[in-house]
Amino acid sequence: MRRLLCCLLLPLAAVVAGEALAQAWPSKPVTLVVPFPPGGSSDQVARALGQRLNAALGQTFVIENKAGATGTIGAAAVKRAPADGYTFLVTSLGPLVIAPHLIKDIQYDPLKDLDPITIAVQAPNVLVVPASSPHKTMADVIAYQKANPGKMSFASSGNGSSDHLSAELFWQQTGTRGLHVPYKGGAPAISDLLGGQTDASFQNINAVISHIKSDKMRALAVTGDKRAALLPNVPTMAEAGVRAYSLTNWFGLLAPAGTPKDVVTKVHSDVVKVLSDPELRKKIAEMGADVVGNSPEEFGAWMRAESAQWAEIIKSANIRPE
């Protein structure tokens, strides 16, 4: 009887303990790991969230930049962290749905080793050319590439980056081919594009919006399924003639696998609340992004679908690690 009673009470005790943990969270500083250097888009999203969570919950949210290996070092560190609700990963899609298909012996499985909480924001990329470019529209670019296969150069922040794969999908869907020129990061890619050393690039909107507005670059199309608020006169890829094209760059919050469900639920609720703050929404809009704040289940399903899509693009283009 005693054993039976213990068996019946143990699950109840676990539920009570989980609820108590969730109610107490956060009772000490929380670390938001960003797997990229300071200043990038993931870092900006993490700092915006951390500041507002700190103000809303009265606890310190520490940003820890663990850069390297296209974001996989930081992601692996979060996998190894205690699943206690005090370490989270804030990252763009790369380490979650692109790198696993490019890097051998990766130290984590993003679909198994990390618990999705929410996609905080998402934003399209934008195809830009230097202001001096003869290409005024997407039709110009497609026509030129068909007449001159492999001649038009496309700069990217690195092999297998979202800007690289945005170009690969464009070539696949239009039956064209350009010349991929990988750089070690977005800044040198943008610098050479401004200087006319390369012909075009798919870039994050926030990284090039100042150059577009100062007429140093020309925006030809955005990669999302709707026009960007910062670039209302720039068509989507579909509107510009690449009918099936739709890609977005997104930034999510994840925890080590096994984090108590009650804690995940509370973290999700708190993050969604701060994402609804008008001031934060304005700041995110100024980055060229949209607030998402979806559920853990929706985020998990999205990751699986995105992983399959990027795997197919990588396989079709026969992309290999640098």
- pTM of the predicted structure, to 2 decimals: 0.86
Domain count, the chain: 2
218-275 residue pLDDT tens: 999 999 999 999 999 999 999 999 988 999 999 999 999 999 999 999 999 999 999 9
**Nearest-angstrom CA–CA distance, 236 and 205:** 13
* Bridge partners (DSSP) listed for residue 90: 253
Q: What is the DSSP letter of 301?
A: H
Residue 218: count other Cβ atoms within 10 Å of its Cβ: 19
Q: Do 151 and 203 fall into the same domain?
A: yes
- The DSSP element (H or E) to which 75 belongs, if any, is helix 72-80
**Residue 263: closest CA among 115, 121, 56:** 115
pLDDT tens for each residue of 127-155: 999 999 999 999 999 999 999 999 999 99
Q: Does residue 275 lie within any of the structural domains?
A: yes
The reply to whether 215 and 131 lie within a common domain is yes
CATH number at residue 114: 3.40.190.150
> 184-222, pLDDT tens digit by residue?
888 899 999 999 999 999 998 988 999 999 999 999 999
On whether both 188 and 206 belong to a single domain, the answer is: yes
Pairing outcome for strands 179-182 and 200-204: unpaired
pLDDT in tens, 45-58: 999 999 999 999 99
Amino acid letter, residue 7:
C
